[in-house]
Amino acid sequence: MRNFKLSRRRMLRGMAGGASIAVGLPLLEAMMNTHGDALAGGDALPLRFMTWYWADGIVIDRWEPEQVGDDWQLSEQLAPLANVKDHVSVVSGMANRTPGNLLVTHHEGMAGLSGHPLVQAGGFNTNASGPTIDQVIADTLEGTTPIRAAHVRVSKRQSTDGDGGTNYIAMSHREQGGGIVAQTPQVDPQEVWQLLFGEFVPAPDDSDLRVSILDYVREDANALKSNLGTTDKQRVDAHLEGVYELEQKILATPPSCDLPDLPTETNTDTGGVEPISSTNEAMARLIAYAFVCDITRVASFQLKRFVSATVFDEIDAGEIHHNASHQGPGSATYQAGITYQMQKFADLLEIFAETEDLNGDTLLDTSIIYATSDCSTGASHSVQRQPILVAGGGRGYLRHPGIHYQTTPFNGNHNNPNGEENMSDVLLACLQAFDPTAESVGSGALESTTPLTDIVA
């Protein structure tokens, strides 16, 4: 498989008369200054950010911890986080303030990643109206790494019919070419490897040629634009931003670390069963490696989409998780599916905890991971009590050990739960770790100007 993927470069070598460049890349230490407290160029040590998403909600009283504040204990559905509990804060009882006339089911919950209300596009189709927090943070880091951000998804299953629009196709949205563009994730770990590391495999240097082709692409794109309307012009401009980023990557200095092996996992079904755990692990390892190598500092990670036909076969769910959610909070299959997704999150956090970062910290210490779902109670699609987890140390930015911040106790009504305060306050707290001058996140009723400081150190 690896040979196949690399055939282009192997062939190029042949063509260039065997002039291959077999340079071993320097080790990680080369990235640090001599004191080990900053990058070699004098910049501060990197802080990373990732959004993580699980689908179809929670059972409120089995997910939210009973105790509030510092002395909280893991709830039934958060039990998988036992090994990393000190690195996690739970935020419960917050309201997703999407206006009632925009509630479509599931789609509105994606605002938990952006603080922007959705735009309806007919039926079960909605589009995002603003960038997600990962992209806002990537904007603050523009130009610091060869790659802006990585976007991955584990389950390949789709909504069986009906759901569409950008909120359905991606969890990450970016202002690109003047519009809001869904950053469709990759589902094959080998593809993720290619996008993160493939460019840095030593090969004959044809970067000038490739860049000259991109110049030609630009000219062609600009000529195309002259006949188009506003929407399509934005699409061409979005294309051109992608061209610019590819060019930056081609011209980037290779990272100062050895490249990881190409993963063997390809996220291929066997007998109709998706390899969820091994794909989750492979994706987590690739992102962890790219973070430590400082190839990128931002990622989004979607375990599965809302309403997807995903079956958690590894726990013998035997039923589509979304269908199980509609059997109500009492469904044992639904309950087990939530705990299972929390286990996948825990697996990822443990990989970050095992990964040593540049100065001896763990990658979990030096990252912020914001996790949420698309609703609280799946059966009623309520967006009151949006479930939120904030994990990692943020290089000392986040409170450690983590707390359980709760706005108001659960009223006991699963289908119509109570929520208070603005969930976007958590997003603003995350953004200020990267841009202390940031004053707001989101827009409309969901906009926040008051960061949730309780989770900050």
Partner 1 sequence: MALGCGGGSANAGDTDTDSAGTDGSDSSPGTDATGTDSDTDGETDSDTDDPTPEGFVPPPGGMRKLTTREYISSVELMLGDAAATAAIPPDDIAQEGFDAVGAAILALPADTIELYERSATAVADAVVTDPSTIQGYVPCVEEGANAACYREVATTIGRLAYRRTLSQDEIEALAAIGAAGQQWADDGSFMTGLRYQLMGILQAPSFLYIQEVGEVDDDTGFRRLTGTELATRVSFFLTGHTPTLELLDAAESGALDDPDELRTMAEAMVANPEARTALESFFAEAYRLRSLAEAPKNAELFPNFTPELGEMMKNETLLLLYDIVWDRDADFRELFNARHTYVNDQLAELYGIDSPGSGELYTRVDWPANQRRAGYTSQASFLTWQSGPRRNSPTKRGLYIQERILCNEIPPPDPSVELDLPDGEGLTLKELLEMHLENPGCASCHGLTDPLGFAFENYDAVGAFRTEDNGLPIETDGEVAGIGMWTDAEQLGDILAADPRTGDCLIENFMRGSLGQTPTDDTHPAVVDLGLEFADSGYSVQSLLVDMVAHPLFRLVDEPK
The reply on whether position 212 binds partner 1 by CB under 8 A is yes
Q: How far is the CB of 264 from partner 1 (least distance, A)?
A: 19
# binding residues, partner 1 (CB under 8 A):
87
For the CB of residue 181, give the shortest distance to partner 1 in the complex, in Å.
4
Binding of residue 435 to partner 1 (CB under 8 A) = no
Minimum CB–partner distance for residue 60 and partner 1 (Å): 14
Nearer residue to partner 1 within complex by CB, 126 or 406: 126
Nearest residue (CB) to partner 1, 232 versus 420 = 232
What is the bridge-based pairing of β-strands 367-372 and 48-53?
Answer: parallel
Which among 47-55, 75-83, 162-170, 417-425 is the span making contact with partner 1, rule CB under 8 A? Answer: 162-170
- Using a 10 angstrom Cβ sphere, with 0-12 exposed, 13-18 middle and 19 or more buried, the burial of residue 362 is middle
Return all residues near 96 (Cβ < 8 A) that are at least 6 apart. 108, 109, 111, 112, 383, 384, 386, 419, 423, 446
Alpha helices in 153-275 (DSSP H): 166-169, 189-197, 207-225, 230-251
Q: Parallel, antiparallel, or unpaired for β 150-153 and 298-302?
A: parallel
How many residues are present in the chain? 457
Partners of 390 in the beta sheet? 89, 370
| Among the listed residues 46, 57, 130, 165, the single contact to partner 1 using CB under 8 A | 165
Residue 164 in contact with residue 124, Cβ under 8 Å? Answer: yes
Determine, following the binding rule CB under 8 A, whether residue 1 of this chain makes contact with partner 1: no
The single residue among 20, 144, 278, 323 that binds partner 1, judged by CB under 8 A, is 323
457 binds partner 1 (CB under 8 A): no
Q: Which residues pair with 150 in a beta bridge?
A: 299
Whole-Å CA distances, 198 to 87, 185, 256, 381: 32, 17, 14, 41
Helix (H, G, I), strand (E, B) or coil at 124: coil
Q: Does 160 bind partner 1 (CB under 8 A)?
A: yes
Closest among 162, 186, 183 to 106, alpha carbons compared: 162
Question: For partner 1, which is the closer residue by CB, 9 or 400?
Answer: 9
Residue with Cβ nearer partner 1 (88 or 154):
154
Closest contact distance (angstroms) between CB of 169 and partner 1 is 5
Nearest to partner 1 of 194, 443 (CB atom)? 194
Q: Does 167 bind partner 1 (CB under 8 A)?
A: no
Q: Annotate 296-309 with three-state secondary structure.
A: CCEEEEECCCCCEC
The interface mask with partner 1, positions 170-209, x = CB under 8 A, is: x---x-xx-x-xxxx-x-------xx--x-------x-xx
Contacting partner 1 (CB under 8 A), which of 133, 141, 203, 238?
Answer: 238
Is residue 124 near partner 1 by the rule CB under 8 A? Answer: yes
